[in-house]
Each structure stands twice: as C-alpha cells, then as structure tokens.
Amino acid sequence: MADDGMLLNFELPSDAFAPKQTFKGGSWKDRLTARKSAEYGSMKARGESGRSLPQFKEMRSKDEELILPGERPNKRPRTSEGGRGTKPVRTEPRDHRLPKSITKGEYISSLFTYNQESSTKHEEFTVDDSVSAEPSNAPLNDELATFTKLGLSSTLASHLLNKMEIKAPTAIQRKSVEQLCATDSDAFIQAETGSGKTLAYLLPVVQRISQISKQMKEEGQNFNRKSGLFAIILAPTRELSKQISTVLENLLSCFHWIVSSTVIGGESKQSEKARLRKGLNILVATPGRLADHLNSTEVLDVSQVRWLVLDEGDRLMELGFENDIQKIVSVLNLRSRKIQEHPVPGLPERRTTVLCSATIKATVDQLSSIALKDPVSISADASEKSNTEMEQAFSAPAQLKQSYALVPPKQRLVALVAALKQAFKRKGSVMKCILFMSCADNVDFHFEVFTREETSPSTENKDASEDTLRVPKMSKTDKIRQGGTIAETRTQGLATAFSGQDNPVQVFRLHGSMQQATRTSTLKAFTNCTDPSVLVCTDVASRGLDLPNVDLVIEYDAPFSKEDHLHRVGRTARAGKDGRAMIFLMPGCEEGYVEILKEGRPRNLTRHDAAELLKKGFAASSGVVGGKDWEDIATDWQMDVERWVLANRKHHEQAYRAFQSHIRAYATHTAAERGYFDLKQLHLGHLAKAFALREKPSTIRVPGQRPGKEAVAKTKEARRAQAGKAAAGSKRAHDEDDFDQGAADEQQAKRMMRMKSKMAMTGASEFNLG
C-alpha cells in the first residue's frame, strides 16, 4: 500500500511500556484500594486531570453519607429516569454541621438532611361536643353510690372508707358488686382501663367468704386457713398477680382470719408448696404455675373452690394459656364432685366463674365458652349492647389528652430526649412517666443512654484521633460478657440526658427478661419514688398495673395492636384523674395509624412535628435561641452519644442488639395493622442513627444470645432435669418465663419460631419482646 504522506504523532505516557503492576494477597477490598491508589499516583505524576482525588477520597450516597478511603462504595439504586449508576440529583446543600474529623469506616449523616416529609395535612382532631368531657372512670357521687347499699357488710364498707380511703364505687364496681353478691351465676365484666375492675371482683369474693366464716362461727366451727381454698384468681403476668395480691391483702386486713397468697413463676416451688401445705382461703396465681401445682402438689385441694376469676382474659389467650386454663377448669369440675366429710356451712353448690376483659374478641369468646356457663354481661353502660358494640365501646378515658409526634427515623432519639426535657423542664409539671418500647434490648440500650455521664462541651475532644474513638481492648469483664454469662443488674439511675439543674429525674428499667425479684423490687421502687421519675419498659407493664401519680405515657415504639395501645395509655388518667399520652410515628405509611388512634374515640388528638419537639427541648433554658441554634445543639448531643457508643464495647453491643431486636419486633404487628408498619418501607440506614450507630445496617450482626440468657437457659435445663428425676413418667412442668412473663404452649412456640425465621436478619439468635 502506498504511503499517502500522512504522519501520525502519538503521545504515549512515560510508563506506557512499563510492566503492569499486580497486587496479591489480602482481601479483594485491599487489592482494589491498592490498585486505585497506584493508578491515581501514576495519573498525578503525569499531571493528568482525569480522575481526581475527591472521587476516591469521598463519595456521597443518596443520604449524604461519607465513604472514606478503604471502603468500597455501594451500588447506586435504579431510578425511574435512568438505569443503575444514575447520579441522584442533590436537593439540599452539603450540611455544615458534620464533625470536622471522621473515623475511618464510619458513615455519618446529618440529622436535618434528606428526611422524609409528612404527606398528611396538619389537622386538629376533636370529637363531637355532645360527648361528655367529664372523667369516664371516676368514682360515682350520687346518693345511691355507697358500698353499704350494694350488699357489702358494714365492716367491709367502713374499712374501704376509713382505711383504704375509697369513698364511693365506680360504675363498673356498683354493677358487679350488686350482681355477684346476690347471685351465683357466671359473669363477664367489661370496662375501660382505670375503672377499678380489680375491686369489682375482689369485693364480692371477700364479702361472700366473710359470710361463710360468720356462719361457721355461729354453728360453733372455727374458720381458719385450714378451712379450705374457696377462691382462685388467675392473672396473665406476675406483676399483675402481685398487684392483685397487694390489693387483696389490704382488703383482708379487716378479716384477719381469711388468708391469701400467690403462686407465680420465677419463685421457688418449694416455698410455694410450703404455703399451700399450711392452708389458704384465696389463691392468686398465674395459669402455668397453677397447672403445674395441680399436677404435682398433692396438698393443693381445690374441691371447695366456688369462685374462679380470670383477669385480663384477652391477654391470657394471647400468651398461649388456653391449654392451661382448660386443664384448670377440668380439674376444678372433676374435684368439685368430691363428697365432703365435713361440709362447710353456707358454701354454694355451684362454682361462680368471672371473666374480666377490656375487649370482646374471638379469643375472649373462646375463653368464655371454655370457662363460663350462661354468663351475665356486666359493663359500665347500663344499656344493652351487642358484642360488636361493646368491642367498639372500648376506649381510653375521656379525660385523657392524647397526641402523636411525626418524627423521621434519624431524629427519633433526639426527639425523644427533647420531649422528655420539655416534660421535666418545669419542676412539678410531671411527676412520673412511663416510656413503652418494643423489646427488652431497646429498654436496656436507652436506659444506658439516659443515665450515661455526659461529656462537657468545653472538655469534649471533637477532633479525637482514630485510636481514641475506636472500641478499646477487651477487658476481662468484657470477655466474660461476650460468653453471655453476665447480665446488667442496674435498674435505677439519674437521668443525665434530660434532668434539669433544679429538677433531678430518676430512670427505672423493666422487662420480662429480668429476674422476678428484680422486677418486683423495680416496680416497688418506681411506685415509692418521691422524685420525678421515668419507667422505661416493655408491654410487661401495660396491663392491669395501677401505678400511682403517672402523669404521662409515651409510646416510643408503636404498640403491636390497637388494644395494646389502649392498655398502655390506660396507665395514666386512672380513677378520674387527668393524664397525657404521646405516641411516636414516622412519616410515610405510619401516618395512616392515626386513623386507628381515632377509633379509640379520643377526646382530642394533637399533632407534633419533630422540629417543634426539638425547638422546645433543646432551646436554652434562659434567653433566646437565635436562628437555628437548636439544630446545632441537637446535633452535638447526637454526636456525643455516637462517640460514647463507639468508645465502649458493651454499649456498642447493646446498640447492635437493640437495633436488631427493634427490626424484628417491627414485623410483629397484627395482620390488620401491618400495612401501617411496612418493613420494606423502613429506611434502615436512617433508623440505625437513632441507635447511635455509624455502620451500614448490613454489617450489624451480633452473634449469640442476650447477656445472661445462656446462664438462665442452663438453670432452666437443670431444674427440668431435676423435676424429671423426682417424678419419672410425669409430664414436664411448665416453667413460666419462656415467653415474656408466661408459659407459651407448643403451638405458640412454633408460631414464634416461624415468625422469627421470616423476620430474621443475619446475626442475633433471639427476638425478645419483653
């Protein structure tokens, strides 16, 4: 081919013919980083503009998260405008509040950028003015509302007035006492929370047994603890059983010859058998432990039981006590036919069974069919209602002021602290608050956050080196903790996160994984605390407990059903007193849950936004905060917590476990409400920041069980083995702390395992709801 005279001048780089450098050893991330560094070095040596340092040193994701050298960037998600790799359009300027120094491998996003906005209008909700604004669960004040006119003896009525300072009954107490004192028919008691259902069934039982004792004395017989067991009261939780027992003991102080006691899980069976051997007249129990004693304790004679009370019937069924209750009812029916050698004068021929439940659901109807025969329905409203109408009538007390806060996931922790700061800012405004969370790990982590020693801004080293911010070497205690043999025992502390200078606040924690003695002492300490205090707890404290002077209830994690919400907020505004309740929701699908809140017929339902809470909570106590200074204060507080988490292995692990357990709990809402809590729409990266975590959610894994669980499991196995040797061939006894605070039957356990497998993220082996 002829030369056309064209001259091509190719400019080759100086290292064009240099041997290609290969990288061996290490992980693929290390080799990729080394190769890119080498390419950049050669490009810089040639003076080429090509790829610049910022692309390797710092890449920004959709959430403004920083990716530093040594980390491989995530793939960009597909968008409707383009395929994979389409660069997202930045809608906000780079936030200036990010810290100056960032430790290698951390992902830090601003609290105030790229948060999802609310899609609903800000509307105030109020009910019809025709609805009475008077307290719906207050004692009656008319002339007929006296205990003596309801059929109670003058001794008991005088005791209620003078010793227990109860001047008049509530509406549900008046109807139930009249009915149960006059007849022996079964009854279903339905009333809202805080209306006094405990006394509604205790007063008739004590009155009837006192009449038996009086008749025995008239016939020359002595009535004492050996006379027989006449009444059994079943409750779903240990805390509720303890509370019922306390109220019962106060009632029986005017009838000292009537003896009561409890048998519940978590306590020594030998000491319980000793009490049963001495003799009892009234027994308060949890179903699992009572079924165990009926099977293995021969001294427990139930042939004379004439009153059986099933308290919180819906909760009894939810916790899987159906089989235990069936067994208890069958044993009572069988042994009641036993011919008595010395019949008790005045003892009714048939047994009266009373079922108490705030709602009428399919499970409650099922329980009613198991235990009741032609029951009489007793409700506070005198009008006749169908089951559907009674279920819809279940509502919060009319005097309760309710509100909800729409808070983006990243701001949940600071917004919660801001709300508590505002609540306890003025001394005397709030005495006691109950803070509900979804799981035990959540409770433990937030308890530590609230009671930690905060760093002073003047001495805080924000430019600390990587070595000072990373997790320190494991101490001997940390190594033991990793084996799961040490559990946190501290249950009370000063709330450094939101205490005022002249208003110190105490924090208590409570959940079902704690030892029974610890749970009991914690509840007692919270009840008797004279300082402003907060109880951080799971739903173990949501049912039936009457904790005095509770002014505020905060649902930081949404309840698992509408009924759970009404029981939670029912811890305040009791017996006609005022109260407030707030629930935290996230923008998006959770906003639809407001319609569920309205079904409870609240008197008012106020909306709060995150900015409103943060401004009030983080504003200066004196003077005026200019501009958006409150954003800087909130950001500094959040960053301080994140550094505190990084600096301690135990707290880092607690944050991991809390994040994982919260995600699992999030997927356990009832089927009817699961559309409002869609796990697929939950931004896990943003939510991780609410747990003071800087890692990607996919890297958050915690192997093994919760601290202390392994030792508890071994103890349970040892007890079971010992029980098997003592009673060869008998059925294995229920141990009452398998799920929360009660024994779960085999079907419930299988259902929980299926649920775990569906929700499980890689890592932790346990999902603990409380």
When mean pLDDT is compared over 102-116, 472-486, 547-561, the highest value belongs to 547-561
CB neighbours of 506 closer than 8 A, spacing ≥ 6? Answer: 492, 493, 494, 495, 529, 531, 532, 533, 534
Bigger pLDDT: 207 vs 132: 207
Answer whether residue 139 shows pLDDT above 90.
no
Query: What's the pLDDT band for 457 if we cut at 50, 70, 90?
Result: very low
Q: What percent of the chain has pLDDT above 70?
A: 68
Query: β-pairing, 187-190 with 376-379?
Result: parallel
Q: Alpha-carbon dihedral of residues 494, 497, 502, 503, nearest 10 degrees?
A: -60
Residue type, 482: Q
Question: Which residue ranges form the domains of the chain, and what is each CATH number?
Answer: 8-52 (no CATH), 171-379 (3.40.50.300), 400-699 (3.40.50.300)
Q: What stretches of 101-164 adopt beta strand conformation (E)?
A: 125-126
Dist CA 511 CA 665 (whole Å): 15
Query: What's the pLDDT band for 745 if we cut at 50, 70, 90?
Result: very low
Answer whether residue 516 shows pLDDT above 90.
no
Answer whether residue 496 shows pLDDT above 80.
yes
Lookup: tokens for 309: 């009370």
Contact 669, 561 (CB under 8 A): yes
Answer whether residue 756 shows pLDDT above 60.
no
Q: What percent of the chain has pLDDT above 90?
A: 41
Dmax (CA) of the chain? 140
Instruction: Quote the pLDDT of residue 85.
Output: 43
Name the pTM for this structure: 0.69
pLDDT in tens, 217-256: 998 889 999 999 999 999 998 889 999 999 999 999 999 9
pLDDT in tens, 7-21: 555 555 555 555 666
Answer whether residue 632 shows pLDDT above 80.
yes
DSSP 742: B
DSSP 681: G
Summarize the confidence of residues 271-277 as an average pLDDT: 93
CA angle 539, 370, 230 (to 5 degrees): 85
Q: Return the minimum-mean-pLDDT range out of 94-108, 542-556, 610-624, 692-706.
A: 94-108
Contact 201, 176 (CB under 8 A): yes
Lookup: tokens for 713: 């499991």
Q: What stretches of 194-348 adopt beta strand conformation (E)?
A: 231-234, 260-263, 282-285, 307-310
Q: In the predicted model, what is the mean pLDDT of the chain?
A: 76
Dist CA 54 CA 68 (whole Å): 10
Query: What's the pLDDT band for 708 if we cut at 50, 70, 90?
Result: low
Closest by CA position to 708, among listed 521, 440, 446? 440
Dist CA 235 CA 262 (whole Å): 11
Dist CA 76 CA 83 (whole Å): 9
Closest by CA position to 581, among listed 359, 311, 395, 707? 395
Backbone CA torsion sign across 663, 664, 669, 673: positive
Instruction: Quote the pLDDT of residue 705.
Output: 58
pLDDT in tens, 27-62: 777 788 778 877 777 776 666 544 443 433 333 334
Answer whether residue 585 shows pLDDT above 70.
yes
Query: What's the pLDDT band for 339 if we cut at 50, 70, 90?
Result: low
31: helix, strand or coil: helix
Query: What's the pLDDT band for 455 if we cut at 50, 70, 90?
Result: low
Answer whether residue 660 shows pLDDT above 50.
yes
Q: 709: how many CB neighbours lie within 10 A of its CB?
A: 18
